[in-house]
Amino acid sequence: MEIIVVGCGRVGAELALRLFRNGHTVAVVDEVLASFHNLHPDFRGRTIEGEALNQGVLQRAGIESADGFAAVSSSDALNVTAAHLARSIYNVPNVVARNYDPGRRALYEAFDLQVVSSSSWGAQRIEELLYHREIKTVFSAGNGEVEICEFTAPEKWAGQSLGKLLPARECLPAALTRAGKALLPDGDVILRPGDVVLVSATLEGIEELRRQLKQAWEV
């Protein structure tokens, strides 16, 4: 794939290297020449110095044949505008933008852009790791609005149906591992000691599940 990365800070440089190492053709755009020093010595893609909203700069980067476009600078205004141009004017099929300031995420949503809010997601994950040890997050969708979490069923839950124990609507069973064998459970499955359960849940559902598990383990 031919991919353009706008912004050569730490995120842009790391992304460019990962894409290059996975066999993609990568062009990195930044208006500050010194920013390209962030690139790893192994990177062999192209670097284009210039303003990412300039038509000539974008064309030199290969925007007209690009398969992917990532706007990951530290400027939300630049990321939103560049991503919108790539998708609506140049019809790049896969466009992703980085949200730098969580307070400006509404800008991305207004343009219906695929957005990664690294500050919000990172803070959420650090919070979970600091004091939410009873449930392990194994996958986070979007910017953490829905997560797949794993937990071991407490002894107190043995003999009860999974569906009656999970928070209604906000938490759905995804998988259950019993004696090393995984299965797709429905709400009627009866839990046994040692069952490892995966659930798909919203943040509200996870908080309620944590509360219920804490009560079960305290008894």
Asked whether residue 33 falls in the same domain as residue 112, the answer is yes
Within 13 Å of residue 153, how many CA atoms lie on the same side as its CB? 27
- Number of domains observed in the structure of the chain: 2
Are 107 and 133 in the same domain?
Answer: no
Q: Return the CA Rg of the chain.
A: 22
Is 92 part of a structural domain of the chain? Answer: yes
- Give mean pLDDT in consecutive 10-residue pieces for the chain, a chain of 219 residues: 96 96 97 97 96 96 97 95 95 94 86 85 70 73 84 90 86 90 90 90 88 80
Specify if 101 maps to a domain. Answer: yes
Instruction: Give the per-residue pLDDT at 207.
Output: 86
pLDDT of residue 199: 93
Identify the CATH number of the domain in which residue 149 sits: 3.30.70.1450
Residues 101 and 170 in one domain: no
For the chain, give the DSSP string.
Answer: -EEEEE--SHHHHHHHHHHHHTT-EEEEEES-GGGGGGS-TT--SEEEES-TT-HHHHHHHTGGG-SEEEE-SS-HHHHHHHHHHHHHTS--SEEEEEE-SGGGHHHHHHTT-EEEEHHHHHHHHHHHHHH--SSEEEEEETTTTEEEEEEEPPGGGTTSBHHHHSPTTTEEEEEEEETTEEE---TTPBP-TT-EEEEEEEHHHHHHHHHHHHHHHH-
Range of the domain at 41: 2-119
Question: pLDDT value at position 79?
Answer: 95
Contact (CB, 8 A) for 114 and 95:
yes
**Is the distance from CB of 57 to CB of 6 less than 8 angstroms?**
no
Q: Are residues 7 and 105 in the same domain?
A: yes
Check whether residue 42 and residue 73 sit in a common domain: yes
- Give 173's strand partners: 199
Same-domain check for residues 170 and 214: yes
Which pTM value belongs to this model? 0.67
- State whether 173 and 142 are in the same domain: yes
Contact between 30 and 57 under an 8 Å Cβ cutoff? The reply is no
The two structure tokens encoding residue 201? 């849940």
